[in-house]
Structure 1
Amino acid sequence: MHKTFDLPSKKERHKRFGSVPPIKGTKPKNKDEMKDLQNTPNDFLFSINSVGISNVKHPVILHSDLLPSVQTTIGTFSLTTSLTQMSKGINMSRLTELLQKYHEEEGFVLSFEQLRRFTKELAVIMNQTAASIEVTFPWFFERKSPALAKVGLMHADAKISVTYDQETKQFTYVTGLTAAVTTLCPCSKEISEYSAHNQRGYVRIETELYSDSIGEKDWKKILLEAAESNASASLHPVLKRPDEKMVTEKAYENPRFVEDMVRLVAADLYENNDIRAFTVECRNEESIHVHDAVATIKFEKE
């Protein structure tokens, strides 16, 4: 038998737990009558390179050379502009207003073409000399097992950003990808009578491009290939025994230190004529050590 009792009204419950009635305010409620602190002119000592919002999650549309060719994923946005010395602050609500406008008009497509239009329009509506957008997102792609061609979905964490400078009318393009791979220890293979320890490695690549010409290709696939083709072996979502044999033996045939990994990936990026500068990092979650192993290369072609 359920116990029953009489509850006070919801209004009374809220009052009992601390709610109080609103006060009769004296400040204006209409926007035109409110004081705008952000647009109050003065000498505020320094200009600011970038100010805005980050960690904004929003649905985005993604095109890929690997299946699925069109996908909807979740982007995490950073939206910023410059700020002059004579301005106290920016109107941050305009940042998400513009994001919503693009979403309603055509959906937010992660293409260089749309990001160029977005940053240019953002600089104009904010009345600033520079604007930037950065989006990080998970990218999914099909992967077949090496022997039996069993299909499953893999994913990598990707990044794309565009910055617009209104004074020079120039854009800066940056792409990035973090891919998980298998690495097998060359030292372990050399000194052991049999077997060798291996582990999961994470290859993080960030590139600055000469232009958006790489956008005509799938830059995600290019960076993924640079990471995986130089690893001991790739990861797979589905592996049967014949597949596992092939992957294990491939790793044994291609031992890699973290130092080897960053140098080999850097060589691929250096050969890519779309890439002006790059950073490559490999971090191994060591299987027989309590620490991770890490190596990094930063390089500018000019």
Structure 2
Amino acid sequence: MQDVQALPDDRELALDQVGVSGLRHPIVVLDRAAEKQRTVADISMSVSLPREQKGTHMSRFVEALAEHHGEVTMRTLPKILRDLRERLDADSAHIEVRFPYFLERAAPVSGARALMDYECAFIGELEGERDDFVLRVRVPVTSLCPCSKAISDYGAHNQRGYVSISVRTGSDSRGEPALVWIEELVELAERCASAPVYPLLKRPDERHVTMQAYDNPVFVEDMVRNAARVLRDDPRVVWFEVHAENHESIHNHSAFARVSWGG
């Protein structure tokens, strides 16, 4: 049977990335409390394509993922990327795994418990002998405006916002990426905001969260700086980016701030 994508190409144009996207697949990720958590990911995988090759073999991407049984962590990504590069005889390989991660959260007063989901991603790239791995977590938070509080006789405008934290870690003693838990980044984002967002609140909880936010007003600038200061002092972290965005409740726009550090 003819293998068309293996035919030569004479246009002399190498491609940076070619692969599959929108691949939904069950995965297993590390969970600080339960050791492992099962979820469903949206996965993109790609490799570089040399100028003399017409196409890549798309089925091999799915084969590589299947052979790793869906276990995707910062420590298994290097193996998946090496497998992709070898299977497809490529110079570089890239993978992005986006997934919801669930944590059971307790309301601050009543203790009512429910699951909360957080948008997470593992991003990995392998080029030559250089590999790169990033963990990204997007956390919903409540923010209350310091300026509004300062100028108002009572009350202050507040809104839901999002703090996104991306980190690149150094290597541990075994040469693997140092482990930063998703839960750590969730907790950091919430500490930098006026108050957390909860999946379930009773009336006493709503009162508590409302007053907590009022007692802790922050701008988006404050949130990214507060998070950056903690990440900069973490010996595991060699690079980070923090992005905060408020969906303003009294303005017809959103406010955002971003900071990055390291290499």
What's 1:109 paired with? 71
What's 1:26 paired with? none
Q: Match of 1:180, as an amino acid?
A: P
* Greater radius of gyration (CA): 1
What's 1:45 paired with? 12
* Residue 78 (structure 1) aligned with residue 78 (structure 2): no
Give 1:42 deviation, angstroms: 4.2
1:252-291 equivalent positions in 2, closer than 5 A: 252-291=214-253
CA contact (8 A) 2:104 2:114 kept: yes
Q: 1:210 to 1:43 in 2, by over 3 A?
A: farther
Secondary structure in structure 2 of the residue aligned to 1:214: coil
* Residue 188 (structure 1) aligned with residue 188 (structure 2): no
Secondary structure in structure 2 of the residue aligned to 1:82: strand
Q: Match of 1:270, as an amino acid?
A: R
Q: Match of 1:87, as an amino acid?
A: Q
Q: Give the 4+ runs in structure 1 shifted more than 4 A.
A: none
More strand by share: 2
TM-score (norm 1): 0.80
1:139-154 equivalent positions in 2, closer than 5 A: 139-154=101-116
Q: Match of 2:4, as an amino acid?
A: L
* Residue 90 (structure 1) aligned with residue 56 (structure 2): yes
Equivalent position to 1:201, from 161, 170, 175: 161
Q: 1:43 to 1:270 in 2, by over 3 A?
A: farther
What's 1:14 paired with? none
Separation (CA, whole Å) in 2 of partners of 1:133 and 1:188: 43
1:1-302 equivalent positions in 2, closer than 5 A: 31=1, 34=2, 36-66=3-33, 69-102=35-68, 107-165=69-127, 167-168=128-129, 170-211=130-171, 212-215=176-179, 217-218=180-181, 220-299=182-261, 301-302=262-263
CA contact (8 A) 1:77 1:134 kept: yes
Give 1:128 deviation, angstroms: 0.9
Secondary structure in structure 1 of the residue aligned to 2:178: helix
Give 1:207 deviation, angstroms: 2.0
CA contact (8 A) 1:226 1:269 kept: no
Instruction: Tell me the C-alpha RMSD between the 2 structures.
Output: 1.7
Give 1:192 deviation, angstroms: 0.3
TM-score (norm 2): 0.92
Separation (CA, whole Å) in 2 of partners of 1:42 and 1:132: 23
Separation (CA, whole Å) in 1 of partners of 2:42 and 2:161: 24
Secondary structure in structure 1 of the residue aligned to 2:140: strand
CA contact (8 A) 1:185 1:197 kept: yes
CA contact (8 A) 2:74 2:135 kept: no
More displaced, 38-47 or 197-206? 38-47
Unaligned runs of 5+ in 2: none
More displaced, 198-207 or 36-45? 36-45
Separation (CA, whole Å) in 1 of partners of 2:82 and 2:11: 25
More displaced, 118-127 or 203-212? 203-212
Give the count of matched residue pairs.
259
Secondary structure in structure 2 of the residue aligned to 1:85: coil
Separation (CA, whole Å) in 2 of partners of 1:149 and 1:94: 48
CA contact (8 A) 1:182 1:234 kept: yes
Separation (CA, whole Å) in 2 of partners of 1:69 and 1:45: 49
Give 1:69 deviation, angstroms: 4.6
Q: Match of 2:13, as an amino acid?
A: F
CA deviation profile, 1:264-290 (whole Å, cap 9, x unmatched): 122122122222222211111111112
Q: Match of 2:247, as an amino acid?
A: E
Unaligned runs of 5+ in 1: 1-30
Give 1:62 deviation, angstroms: 2.2
More displaced, 51-60 or 145-154? 145-154
Give 1:80 deviation, angstroms: 0.6
Give 1:178 deviation, angstroms: 0.6
CA contact (8 A) 1:173 1:210 kept: no
